[in-house]
Chain A
Amino acid sequence: MKNPIHLFSLTFFFFVGCITLEKEKNIESNSKNSILIADKQFQEKTELQKSMQRGKNIYSGFCMQCHLPDGKGVPGNFPPLAGSDWLTEKRSESIYVVKYGQTGEIIVNGVKYNNVMAPLGLSDDEVADVMNYIMNSWENTQNQMVTVEEVKAVKK
């Protein structure tokens, strides 16, 4: 009496096992796909991180003296980069400023600024790097990385 039940349960387990195995296979291939996706994301992130790391060095050599390490600037004198509406809403204008400098009045987070930022003399890839740094530092985030091509396209 016991044996057929055993056999049955064994068969049952076998099937279940097979189904599970099949499922696992599916999961495995799914997760392979997701690893691929994650890999790609990881690579993109690394590209951004690399760019930001280079940008951080540019920032400390060219920007920090006025905009300060925390990106908050000096109200009324040097506009903030951290939490700056200008930086988020005026992407190509921001690239322009880093590339060619800035004169004349601008309004950042409701505060008027009328100072001169001299042309920094940065190369296009340096502009892209420092843009990626300031757009992703402090609590700033961006959806799209700044590329050298994008910087090249911003003309005087």
Chain B
Amino acid sequence: MKYFLSYVVAISFFTSCAQQLKLNDIPIKEEVRNYTIKSFVSNINIPWGMTWLPDGSMLITEKSGDLIHFINDEKINITTTFDDLYVRGQGGLLDIELHPNYPENGWIYISYASNEGEGEGGNTKLVRAKLIENNLTQVETLYKATPNTTSGVHFGSRIVFDKEGYVYLTIGDRGNHEENPQNLQKDGGKVYRFHEDGRIPDDNPFTNEAGAKTSIFSYGHRNLQGMAIHPTSGKIWTHEHGPKGGDEINILKKGANYGWPEITYGLNYNGTIITEETERDGMENPIYYWFPSIAPSGMAFVTGDKFPEWKGNLLVGSLKFQYLELVQLNGNNVISRQKIATDIGRLRNVKIGPDGYIYIAVEGKGIERITPN
């Protein structure tokens, strides 16, 4: 009995240690700055989403509600009619993307926190609209998550189109991890997939499940603020904020459960344990997790020929450590990590521009551009 007890104590000691340390982690390398970082669009408080129009000008969302068109070195405020915009905590005007056939159809996709519908508070909404003479018009609602709540956290939200033309949207768990992420009948803690006009694809994974939100593509997520299509495989990569130590990179599979909050490598913010479980059958493990958390936001694969040494690797912004992280990959494995733009500020978004340069959205600054020397 005595031995048994000490065995139990030893086991629980090691198990709890394992949660607080990441063994054999890949240390992040310090920056070697053989490139130049310069301000591209200045004075934007919280630049959230950014994209480029065919003429090379930029559209930038600012969380408090401004939609900025940066053209000919000038910032023009686009008039929007988002009367239901809900600016609270992490919520506000969020991501922006163009339809892959934008030159033909002119559709711009935007996600934002909205107070539309019943109940006090808000939840994430996806719309599409057209930009005509500095006005955003013909706004169509494609999806609005429910219920509205006054929680200020975990709205998501990123938008991407895959190579088949489906549009994906991320919505965080809205701070209600007991009810939302594992329940297919509820919004939140999910990645959603739609046709370009908001219709639900027939082959979405839960179309035949009674009561399920059929727009769900994958579930068991916490708060995803980064999503990108892999340039060669076409797969959807995401990252998500974990709790304390447990930020994840995942490759999405249709219908898969990513485990939050049943399994996680993270702890509660006060250091207490959420669950001892880090894996379970039927739940996906991340391809990489950050410990400590970096608070990831924005995600892009390096494409084009401006940064040949980085090509095919992943860029992720860190809100917490205020740098851009280059995550070097061998297939689906993370093999090294490198700091870029050390101490730049809270890094909210990253994208490769049509010119092949790296654009980063930095809170309190605006958009900065990285060009090779």
Which residues of A are found within 8 Å of B195, using beta-carbon distances? none
Q: Is the CB of B346 within 8 A of A119?
A: no
Q: Is the CB of A69 within 8 A of B269?
A: yes
Q: Is the CB of A116 within 8 A of B46?
A: yes
Question: When chains A and B are docked, how far (Å) is the Cα of A114 from the Cα of B364?
Answer: 8
Q: Is the CB of B269 within 8 A of A68?
A: yes
Q: CB-CB contacts of A16-32 with B at 8 A, as 1s and 0s? A: 00000000000000000
Interface flag for A64 (CB, 8 Å) = yes
Which residues of A are found within 8 Å of B205, using beta-carbon distances? none
A72 CB, nearest partner CB in chain B, Å:
12
Question: When chains A and B are docked, how far (Å) is the Cα of A69 from the Cα of B244?
Answer: 11
Question: When chains A and B are docked, how far (Å) is the Cα of A144 from the Cα of B278?
Answer: 47
Which residues of A are found within 8 Å of B92, using beta-carbon distances? 118
Interface flag for A10 (CB, 8 Å) = no
Interface flag for A103 (CB, 8 Å) = yes
Which residues of A are found within 8 Å of B64, using beta-carbon distances? 118-119
Which residues of A are found within 8 Å of B46, using beta-carbon distances? 116, 118
Known: A69-B270, A115-B364. A61 touches B175 (CB 8 A): yes
Question: When chains A and B are docked, how far (Å) is the Cα of A135 from the Cα of B271?
Answer: 23
Q: Is the CB of A120 within 8 A of B270?
A: no
Question: When chains A and B are docked, how far (Å) is the Cα of A62 from the Cα of B90?
Answer: 8
Q: Is the CB of B45 within 8 A of A115?
A: no
The residues in A between 102 and 144 inclusive whose CB is less than 8 angstroms from any CB of B are: 103, 114-116, 118-122
Q: Is the CB of B364 within 8 A of A116?
A: yes
Interface flag for B63 (CB, 8 Å) = yes
Which residues of A are found within 8 Å of B97, using beta-carbon distances? none
Known: A61-B152, A77-B320, A115-B364. A120 touches B89 (CB 8 A): yes
Q: Do most interface residues of chain A lie in helix, strand or loop, or is the interface mixed?
A: loop
Interface flag for B153 (CB, 8 Å) = yes
Interface size class of B (residues with CB under 8 A): 20 to 34
Interface size on A, residues (CB 8 A): 18
Interface flag for B91 (CB, 8 Å) = yes
Interface flag for A148 (CB, 8 Å) = no
Q: Do most interface residues of chain B lie in helix, strand or loop, or is the interface mixed?
A: loop
Question: When chains A and B are docked, how far (Å) is the Cα of A121 from the Cα of B92?
Answer: 10
Question: When chains A and B are docked, how far (Å) is the Cα of A120 from the Cα of B322?
Answer: 21
Which residues of A are found within 8 Å of B87, using beta-carbon distances? 119, 121
Interface flag for A38 (CB, 8 Å) = no
Q: Is the CB of B89 within 8 A of A61?
A: yes
Which residues of B are found within 8 Å of A61, using beta-carbon distances? 89, 151-153, 175
Which residues of B are found within 8 Å of A116, using beta-carbon distances? 45-46, 346, 363-364
Which residues of B are found within 8 Å of A62, using beta-carbon distances? 89, 152-153
Question: When chains A and B are docked, how far (Å) is the Cα of A119 from the Cα of B46?
Answer: 10
A122 nearest CB neighbor, chain B only: B88
Which residues of A are found within 8 Å of B152, using beta-carbon distances? 61-62, 120-121
A88 CB, nearest partner CB in chain B, Å:
24
Q: Is the CB of B153 within 8 A of A115?
A: no
Which residues of A are found within 8 Å of B63, using beta-carbon distances? 118
Interface flag for A153 (CB, 8 Å) = no
Q: Is the CB of B89 within 8 A of A103?
A: no
Interface flag for A74 (CB, 8 Å) = yes
Q: Which of A61, A74, A121, A122 has the most CB of B within 10 A?
A: A121
Q: Is the CB of B175 within 8 A of A103?
A: no
Which residues of B are found within 8 Å of A118, using beta-carbon distances? 45-46, 63-64, 92, 363
Q: Identify which of A64, A115, A120 contacts B346 (C-beta below 8 A).
A: A115
A96 CB, nearest partner CB in chain B, Å:
16
Q: Known A-B contacts: A61-B153, A69-B271. Give 12 more (CB < 8 A).
A: A60-B269, A61-B175, A62-B89, A65-B153, A69-B270, A77-B320, A103-B364, A116-B46, A116-B363, A118-B63, A121-B86, A121-B87
| 20 CB-based A-B contacts, threshold 8 Å | A60-B269, A61-B175, A62-B89, A65-B153, A68-B269, A69-B270, A69-B271, A115-B345, A115-B364, A116-B45, A116-B363, A118-B363, A119-B64, A119-B87, A120-B89, A121-B87, A121-B88, A121-B89, A121-B152, A122-B88
The 10 closest A-B pairs by CB, nearest first: A121-B88, A116-B364, A69-B270, A116-B363, A62-B152, A61-B152, A121-B87, A62-B89, A69-B269, A118-B46
